[in-house]
Structure 1
Amino acid sequence: MPFLFFDPTMILLIPAIILAGYAQMKVKSTFNKYLEVRAKIGKSGAQVARELLDQNGLSHINVTRADGKLSDHYDPKNEVLKLSPEVYGGSSLASLGVAAHETGHAIQDKVGYAPLRFRHSLFPVASFGSQAGPILAVLGFLFHAGFLINVGIIVFTAAVLFQIVTLPVEFNASSRALKLLRQNNYLNSQETKGAKKVLNAAALTYVASAVVAIGHLIRLLVLSRMMDD
């Protein structure tokens, strides 16, 4: 099994790794750029999120400060919207855009947005598959155990599907965010363009994650075929 010592399939991951690196640099640079551009309305991300939640019948959801940069997320289990310090207290285009995006996730949860529900149902097996799948596949390659390889590929496929389903969830949340910001006059048309650039850059990181996951799955399938041959 020479591919265990020299794995030519690693080349399949190079484009995905390059895209992932670019996406990370893009989101950081874009976020930092528009973090310096203050929205004319002068409200903080926490204030905007609170008002948007209340307007959409989600007054029971708390808005709290999270630790770390770009750590913003909506926690449906505990019904809390957590914003990073820059977003929570900031009044920049980046702050308002990200706060509205996370609010968009809360609204998705309320209306039963199908892709979000599907992603939630996938999470347990996807979490297991992302960790255990490659390990099981490698053990199968080492011990020439086809059953382990197949199980590893199957459970890892759930992790890949989770990454793919994440895309419409994130795109939809961003679309909702921009619409909410514009319709409620938090941002004017020019400011909305800046917020959109921030959210588009963030979306690219999810695209990159999906491409990396797909690349790993293809690599496992190719390795499995190589061993059979």
Structure 2
Amino acid sequence: MFFDYYYLILVVPALLIAAWAQMKVSGAFNRYSRVKSSRGYTGAQVARMILDENGLYNVRVERISGNLTDHYDPRTNVVRLSDGVFNNSSVAAAGVAAHECGHAVQHAHKYFPLVIRNSIIPVTNIGSTLSIPLIILGMILSYGPLIDIGLLLFSLVAVFQLVTLPVEFNASRRALATLEGSHFLEEEELRGSKKVLQAAALTYVAALLVSIAQLLRLVMISGRRRD
């Protein structure tokens, strides 16, 4: 009977780190969601002002249901803010709203890492869907080239996660600089937003670790099967 100890020694630790990172961001967001900003701007108001300051009048700000579902959609030029951010005047809401507007500014300025990430999304989606079936089929048929194609496709997922890091870090730096420079938050409040964004950054690092761990596991399993 085959026991996948590679999963145990590689993937499980990465998944635990990912779970810890998710708890960190949830904890930080929940904590600073209860700290109201002195100026009283809601997340939606912060987003609209930041977009207008950057001349992005065509980018809309909309509400989306869910918790921490905030994102910028470059296809429709929409910043979508979750229930806990849109009408919330907390320092956490301001930080998240500014971060998502950072992505809109990146898109407008054709920030190179973002351009790369967006360009590989279609191939990455194919890789995430077909890689595992191809690897399994290659193992069943003992056909090495099929395994190699599957591994190559799966590696694109790790590449996507890697390229995501500078995109997210840059958006957070833009957010904090804007919140400070435009005086949306006071100095003490800014530290709260920074903690929320730093915790969120950990989730992207953890996602990369999980992808790399999975890739190493698949490489080792396929190598053992070939032997």
TM-score by length of 1: 0.96
Partner SS, residue 84 of structure 2: helix
Equivalent AA in structure 2 for residue 27 of structure 1: V
Cα distance in 2 for residues equivalent to 1:207 and 1:49: 26
Q: How high is the sequence identity, in percent, across the aligned residues?
A: 49
Give the conservation status (yes or no) of the 8 Å contact 2:99–2:175: yes
Q: Which moved more, 1:218-227 or 1:53-62?
A: 218-227
Equivalent AA in structure 1 for residue 12 of structure 2: I
Partner SS, residue 61 of structure 2: strand
Equivalent AA in structure 2 for residue 52 of structure 1: I
Q: Map of 1:14-93 to 2, 5 A cutoff? A: 14-93=12-91
Partner SS, residue 36 of structure 1: coil
User: Which residue does 1:205 correspond to in 2?
Assistant: 203
User: Which residue does 2:178 correspond to in 1?
Assistant: 180
Partner SS, residue 225 of structure 1: helix
Cα distance in 2 for residues equivalent to 1:135 and 1:201: 34
Report the alpha carbon displacement of residue 131 of structure 1 after superposing the two structures with TM: 2.0
User: Which residue does 1:139 correspond to in 2?
Assistant: 137
Q: Report Cα offsets for 1:78-132 as digits up to 9, x if no partner.
A: 0110000111100001100000000000000011100000000010011111121
Equivalent AA in structure 1 for residue 173 of structure 2: S
Q: Report Cα offsets for 1:11-40 as digits up to 9, x if no partner.
A: 211220110110111111111000000011
Give the conservation status (yes or no) of the 8 Å contact 2:35–2:90: yes
Equivalent AA in structure 2 for residue 123 of structure 1: I
Query: Is 2:35 the partner of 1:6?
Result: no
Cα distance in 2 for residues equivalent to 1:193 and 1:139: 51
Match of 1:95 among 93, 96, 99: 93
Equivalent AA in structure 2 for residue 8 of structure 1: Y
User: Is there any run of 5+ residues in structure 1 with no aligned partner, and where?
Assistant: none
Partner SS, residue 104 of structure 1: helix
Report the alpha carbon displacement of residue 218 of structure 1 after superposing the two structures with TM: 0.7
Cα distance in 1 for residues equivalent to 2:49 and 2:101: 10
Report the alpha carbon displacement of residue 142 of structure 1 after superposing the two structures with TM: 2.2
Length, aligned pairs only: 226
Equivalent AA in structure 2 for residue 143 of structure 1: L
Cα distance in 2 for residues equivalent to 1:38 and 1:218: 45
Report the alpha carbon displacement of residue 200 of structure 1 after superposing the two structures with TM: 0.7
Query: Is 2:104 the partner of 1:106?
Result: yes
Report the alpha carbon displacement of residue 220 of structure 1 after superposing the two structures with TM: 1.1
Partner SS, residue 72 of structure 2: strand
Match of 2:220 among 216, 219, 222: 222
Runs (4 or more) in structure 1 with deviation over 4 Å come to: none
Q: Map of 1:97-176 to 2, 5 A cutoff? A: 97-176=95-174
Cα distance in 1 for residues equivalent to 2:4 and 2:190: 47
Cα distance in 1 for residues equivalent to 2:140 and 2:215: 18
Cα distance in 1 for residues equivalent to 2:205 and 2:23: 14
Partner SS, residue 71 of structure 1: coil
Equivalent AA in structure 1 for residue 22 of structure 2: Q
Partner SS, residue 195 of structure 2: helix
